[in-house]
Structure formats: structure tokens, C-alpha cells
């Protein structure tokens, strides 16, 4: 069964400004890497725009209306905080980023694809229910998980996050709900300052903080020793991956030393869990990654495994 690639050109129109690390070229780099003959078997589709109902499963109506109501004129921008900026195209980009995850869930749960990768931006794992932050406007991965539950009746969904920054927003959205597991490896100390191992939610949160300089062996140890067994024991009916590649050794925003084979190894391990418990169903959404070459090669390594396992 095929692997689905979801994206939309609107995601290129989210423009936080010159020198901002979360730039449109990030998505261009990923899409260029996935345009080679090696990835010709990918089924490609345009991401739909998310609906108010889908957004409202995670975010209060007032918050959704406030974010979508910010429509700067062309060439102008509105700063929501020191890191998070909206341009003329940001609202539609955010709707397409969420919509990609929702459509990916529908595809894998209806049998149209076995795995799916959403090449979208802005990212989502820092967005809290009522607050944007860390380049993120809506909680893309959590909304995808909630859609699996609300629209398809799934009881247990795992959100797996290997971005170098802790997904404080994702954790905040699910930490009181035992039906969703959240597992994260991330650098600590590092932005946003959350994600200590003692943060356990209602027993559904598993954090593995890694010190600056930790390499691929330490990364694999964290997953093999703690996080993967927790996901296995949870026996999820769907895996949603927050696929950030900024733990790469060349990334400028943090200091972990992970490489492409490490991302590929973890992807294969997660696909194995999905095969055992979830009928192989995996939905992956792009999060961080700010060295363009490292991002492109790491995303390609990730998608390669999604296609071949």
C-alpha cells in the first residue's frame, strides 16, 4: 500500500520575514528532496483547509477566530511574540498545515494509504490551546490525533515527537487525557524550557531530555530505553509523529549531534510498533529543522523508511 505525501503551495506564503529561521525555503528544500526519482512512488495530494470544527477540538473558538482574523496586508507582518510572526499568507498556510494532518488521518484510517507525511508549515508543536508560540499557530499533530478519535472512533493515539525542542504545546493539549500518549526526546536546557522527565501528565506523558552535545547513540538509547517501551505498552491504534529534524548535528538552533541514520532508525522502530498495534498506520507532520541541507536529507531519510517498511 502506498505512502501519501500531503502539501500545499499556500504553505510557502507564510513569510515571517528575512533572517527568520522558519522560512519558506525550508519547505522548498524538503519538497525538492522528495521530487527525485527515488520518491516517484509517493502518492501526492494537496492539503485541504482545516474546518472550524476540526480546530475547535483543541483550540477555543475565540482563539481560532483571533488567529484567523489576523490578515496583514501584503508585505506587512504582525508579531505575536518575539518568535512567532504572521504575514498575509499565514492564516491560509496554518489552515492547510492542520488540514494536511486531518486528511492524512482520513487516508490511513480509510485504507487509501498505509503511511502519510505532511510537508507543511508553519509547524505546530509549541502552540498551546490558547496561545501561539515558537513559530507555531495551531497544534497540528494534536488536531490530527483528535480527528482520529472524533471522526473515526479511535480510543488510543500516540503522538511521538523527536524535534530538538520540547513540544510544550502538544503536551499542554493532552496531558490531562489518558487516551493520548505523548512521548518526546529533546535538548535540555533549550527553548521552551519545559519537558522534564518528571512531567508525566496523568501517566500519559513521557519526556527524555538530552544534554547539549548528545549524539546519535545517546538519542537511540533514550528511545530504546524508555520512550519506545512506553509507546509499545500503550498499544496505540494510530501513531502521529511530530517530525522535527533540528536535532541534526548541523542545525543552527540547538546542539544535539543526531544524524540521518538515527532518524531513519527511529522511524523504522516507530513503524514496527505501528505494524504490531495500529495496522501500520502512521501520520507524520513536519516540525522543525533549520539547516536546509540537513533538513532535506533528514526528511528524505524519514520518508524513505515510511515507504519501505
Q: Supply the CATH number for residue 24's domain.
A: 3.40.800.20
Q: Mean of the pLDDT values across residues 232-252?
A: 98
- HEC-encoded secondary structure of 245-271: CCCECCCCCCCCEECHHHHHHHHHHHH
Catalytic residues: 126
Is it the case that residue 1 has pLDDT exceeding 90?
A: no
pLDDT tens for 200-229 read 999 999 999 999 999 999 999 999 999 999
Q: Which residue in the block uniquely carries the three cell numbers 533538513?
A: 295
Q: Report pLDDT for 125.
A: 99
* N residues, the chain: 309
pTM: 0.98
Q: Is pLDDT above 70 for 110?
A: yes
Range 225-237 average pLDDT: 98
Cell matching residue 47: 492539503
Domain count, the chain: 1
Neighbouring residues of 201: CB distance < 8 A, sequence distance ≥ 6: 171, 174, 175, 176, 182
Cell of 212: 547539549
* Residue 309: per-residue pLDDT: 80
What is the mean predicted confidence (pLDDT) over 17-39? 97
Question: Helix or strand or coil: residue 284?
Answer: strand
Q: What is the pLDDT of residues 45-59, one digit of tens each?
A: 999 999 999 999 999
What domain range includes position 51?
3-308
Write down the pLDDT at residue 201: 98
Percentage of residues in the chain having pLDDT higher than 70? 100
Taking only the tens place, the pLDDT of each residue in 186-200 is: 999 999 999 999 999
CA distances in angstroms from 118 to 8, 82, 95, listed in the order given: 9, 26, 13
Amino acid at each position: 500500500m502506498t505512502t501519501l505525501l500531503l502539501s500545499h503551495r499556500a504553505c510557502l506564503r507564510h513569510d515571517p520575514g528575512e533572517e527568520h529561521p522558519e522560512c519558506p525555503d525550508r519547505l522548498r528544500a524538503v519538497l525538492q528532496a522528495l521530487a527525485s526519482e527515488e520518491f516517484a512512488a509517493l502518492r501526492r495530494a494537496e492539503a485541504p483547509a482545516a474546518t472550524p470544527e476540526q480546530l475547535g477540538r483543541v483550540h477555543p473558538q475565540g482563539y481560532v477566530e483571533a488567529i484567523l482574523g489576523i490578515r496583514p496586508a501584503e508585505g506587512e507582518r504582525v508579531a505575536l511574540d518575539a518568535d512567532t510572526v504572521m504575514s498575509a499568507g499565514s492564516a491560509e498556510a496554518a489552515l492547510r498545515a492542520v488540514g494536511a494532518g486531518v486528511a492524512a488521518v482520513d487516508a490511513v484510517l480509510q485504507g487509501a494509504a498505509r503511511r502519510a507525511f505532511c510537508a507543511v508549515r508553519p509547524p505546530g508543536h509549541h502552540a498551546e490551546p490558547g496561545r501561539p508560540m515558537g513559530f507555531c499557530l495551531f497544534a497540528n499533530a494534536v488536531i490530527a490525533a483528535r480527528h482520529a478519535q472524533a471522526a473515526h472512533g479511535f480510543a488510543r493515539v500516540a503522538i511521538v515527537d523527536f524535534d530538538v525542542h520540547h513540544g510544550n504545546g502538544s503536551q499542554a493539549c493532552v496531558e490531562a487525557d489518558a487516551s493520548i500518549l505523548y512521548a518526546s526526546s529533546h535538548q535540555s536546557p533549550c527553548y521552551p524550557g519545559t519537558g522534564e522527565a518528571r512531567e508525566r501528565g496523568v501517566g500519559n506523558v513521557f519526556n527524555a531530555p538530552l544534554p547539549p552535545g548528545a549524539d546519535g547513540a545517546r538519542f537511540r538509547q533514550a528511545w530504546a530505553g524508555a520512550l519506545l517501551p512506553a509507546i509499545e505498552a500503550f498499544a496505540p491504534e494510530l501513531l502521529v509523529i511530530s517530525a522535527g529534524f533540528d536535532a541534526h548535528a548541523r542545525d543552527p538552533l540547538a546542539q544535539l549531534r543526531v544524524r540521518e541514520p538515527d532518524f531513519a532508525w527511529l522511524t523504522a522502530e516507530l513503524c514496527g510498533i505501528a505494524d504490531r498495534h495500529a495496522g501500520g498506520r502512521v501520520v507524520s507532520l513536519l516540525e522543525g529543522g533549520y539547516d536546509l541541507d540537513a533538513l532535506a536529507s533528514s526528511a528524505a531519510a524519514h520518508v524513505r523508511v515510511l515507504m519501505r517498511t
